[in-house]
Structure 1
Amino acid sequence: MESTAAPASVFLEREGAAESADSIPWYLTAVLFASAAVIVGITWDISWHRTIGRDTLFTPAHLLVYAGGLAAGLSCGWLALKTTFSGTGAEVGRSVRLWGFRAPLGAWVAIWGAIAMLASAPLDDWWHNAYGLDVEILSPPHVVLALGIYAIQVGALLMALAWHNRASETGRRKLAWAYVFSAAMLILSVSVLLMEYTFPNQMHGATFHRVMAAVFPVLLFAIGRAGQMRWPATCAALVYTGVSLATMWVLPLFPGEPMLAPILRPVTHMQPSEFPLLLIAPAIVVDLLLRRHSAPGEVPERALTDWGTAAVGGVAFVGIFGAIQWYFADFMLSEGARNYFFQGDTWGYTSAPGAWQYEFWHGGQFLTGEFSAAGFAAAAWWALPIAFVSARAGLWLGNWWLRVRR
């Protein structure tokens, strides 16, 4: 007689699906907390440098960053030990083997990020003692720290994706928000890395538009393609905006004064970061484009669809996002933005006051001197092919994200 028993893989899949549908596991919650803690801590640390200047290993901002690194490292380390030595068949089946141990792919990435982050702390302390304040954001210790932070963000995203993709219909509704939150923290991390390019004074320059076209379409299209909900890219952009605004509004409530020369302007409270990028508008367009060609979380059958979607989406991103940020930059340099809500005209104590605060900066590699429409167009048109490549890469990445199960 032929056996009617289902293959073991079917039972593993059913067990994994049932477990996914019940609740978000505590270790995924811990990693999501870590992803938020490290980037909010970094934003706080940048404000600390702009306001106070003097730095020690155990400032409150650093402690929040370390807490995030420890939460990711300890929770994922526990998960690796548990899966290796006492994991169920389903847990072992959805894990990745490394050096004799087993854990989900996202957990391994987060563990590596936690090790890199915590290793960078004493290196950064030594760097400051030897050379003083950082002249640039990306000093050698900060490069190690940044790699660790992004590894935790990617690890959290991969863990959320694995649970999201294995979930039943009921569980997917809850896990979709875990995925969206992890994606939003990744957007926030990238925006912090690019902050030297995103002052309102730079938004009439071609470099700003090219950099934005290279970075954000890949994120928005990947998030939109892999999200199994109606508006994944839009929701991620909303969460990014909400967290950014919260930190921007909370930091100035606390007093702070410079403690390291040269002090070139009076500062009495913690200086916030810039108003968040207006990514909600292009995110809506991305979601609408993806819904037109495929259902949420579904890969279209024809590859040509992705090429066409990327072409339309790249042009839409450059046109819509570029136009919105262009006019918003005009407002941010006006008196109307110099209030608590928009936090316009906020500068660190090392920036000497001057007319430059209220002017667009047109100097640089591609634009020199006063603004020239012809010069801007000659340099900025490159944003279109860059956005096309970025959007196509995002769709490819999103298709891969949809297959993440471990």
Structure 2
Amino acid sequence: MDVSVRAARPVTRVTGGKALTKGLPAAAGVLAGAAISLTGLAFDAQWHSDVGPDTFFTLPHLVLYSGTAISGLISLFVVLATTFAARGGQIADPAVGGRPVGVLGRRFTAPLGYLTTGLGAAAFLLYGLWDLWWHSLYGFDAVLESPPHIGLLLSISVSMMGALMVCAAAGRRRWAVIGQFVGGALLVAFNAVITLGLAPLNGLVNAVSVGVAFLASLVLLTVASSTGRAGAVLSTSVVMTVLQLALWFFAPWAARVYAGSIGLPMRDNLYGAPTLPGLMPMGIVVTGLAVEGLLLLARRHAWPASRAAAGAGGLGAVLVVLLIPVQEAVTGGAATPGAAQLAVTGAVAAVVGGLGGALGHRLGLLLANISRGSEVTR
């Protein structure tokens, strides 16, 4: 598809309470869909851990699918409404989902955030059909790392990124800022399970911990940059901790109740932390406090924003990888890694986290301007 950039046209914005009413319900809907997807993933991961194999049509899968379906249907509704409004000569408010772009030869007009969410949901549908075919070939599926599952998880991640874009497009309205805190926390929490794909690289460096640390630095500094609010990192960390606490109790309970309802036994000798909540860093609030302190120092001394973000990302990543072994020892009785592994993992995390912080700062600036600038048509 050809991509051309044109000068921005004058935009008739909907202001005041009407804009709030127009933007908030749909944004809340896609965030709710993302939260349901996270709940379904925690349920499904715990099912694999505590019970084992499953088929396509299980309750954890249905919860997971319904979350993305909600986000996708809401995005489709917004895209169609924007398209019909554009055909009627109205210019969409870019604060509702971002700058509208032309899709499929400009047959459709889609706000960028809802377009991203919708594309993630559409990809999820395709991978869902692949997962159905996979189960029809192999029957029970005993692991999370099957090819269609990886595609499903990545598709949901794209959809969640779209939800974050939708909130960022609304500017610095209170609900939009809170939505970015929630959207960032959902992204870090959901993608924690994807970092398990780095497990084969574990050795002197704990690659899974480094992956979690990079993700946390990237997303936390993105939200800090896009909102422009002091305390954004800490607020997102608090939301993530609340999510972790809720899933910590919900996931094992849901797996146990559902297994009993369909007559399947639980595995013997179950112990340790719940699967997905156990992958989320429990010390994220401590990390958030430290990062906020460094960012405050940077503002007082007028450090360049990109360097401050890189330093904050590196500091946050180091704290995450150092606190994860403590978390695993307390919750699961894991052995404490040796000093050499901690030192090397911390050094790698500092570099990777610094890159994540710098990239997050740039991404945050892009999100902050998603409803401004030139109109892009495809």
| TM-score when normalising by structure 2 | 0.79
Q: Secondary structure at the match of 2:363?
A: helix
1:50 aligns with 2:49: yes
Q: Which amino acid aligns with 1:150?
A: S
Asked if the contact 1:247–1:272 (Cα under 8 Å) also holds between the matched residues in 2, the reply is: no
CA contact (8 A) 1:219 1:394 kept: yes
Q: Show the counterpart of 1:234.
A: 234
User: Which residue of 323, 348, 353 maps to 1:382?
Assistant: 348
Q: 2:167 is matched with which residue: 160, 171, 181?
A: 160
User: Residues 79-118 of structure 1, C-alpha deviation per residue, up to 9 Å, x if partnerless?
Assistant: 1111111257341664111112011111111111111222
Q: Which amino acid aligns with 1:27?
A: A
Distance 1:309 1:211 in 2: 21
Query: Would you say the 8 A contact 1:51–1:271 is kept in 2?
Result: no
RMSD: 3.5
- Distance across 1 between alignment mates of 2:214 and 2:313: 10
Corresponding residue for residue 90 of structure 2: 89
Partner of 1:359: 335
Tell me: CA distance 1:290–1:273, structure 2 relative to 1, closer, same or farther (3 Å).
Answer: same
C-alpha change, 1:325 and 1:141, in structure 2 (3 Å) is closer
Partners of 2:54 and 2:193 in 1: CA distance: 19
Counterpart AA for 1:68: G
Alpha-carbon deviation of 1:248? 1.6
Aligned residues between the structures: 348
Residue 317 (structure 2) pairs with residue 287 (structure 1): no
Name the SS for the 1:147 alignment partner.
helix
Paired with 2:252 and 2:267, the residues of 1 have a C-alpha distance of: 19
Partner of 1:249: 249
Q: Deviations over 1:37-66 (max 9, x none)?
A: 112111111112223334233222222122
User: Does 2:180 match 1:179?
Assistant: yes
The 10-residue stretch of structure 1 (314-323 or 143-152) with the greater mean CA deviation from structure 2: 314-323
Structure 1 residues 221 and 121: CA distance shift in structure 2, 3 A: same
Alignment partner for residue 265 of structure 1, among 268, 275, 281? 268
Letter of the 1:182 counterpart: G
**Stretch of structure 1 that moved more, 82-91 or 29-38:** 82-91
State whether structure 2 residue 296 is matched by structure 1 residue 320: no
Specify the SS of the correspondent of 2:369: coil
1:35 is matched with which residue? 34
Name the structure 2 match of 1:338: none
Q: Counterpart of 1:122?
A: 129
**In structure 2, what is the Cα distance between the partners aligned to 1:380 and 1:120?**
36
Q: Quick one: structure 1 residues 246 and 204, their matched pair in 2 at CA, closer, same or farther if it must change by over 3 Å?
A: farther
In structure 1, distance between residues paired with 2:327 and 2:33: 32
5 Å matches for 1:298-317? 305-317=304-316
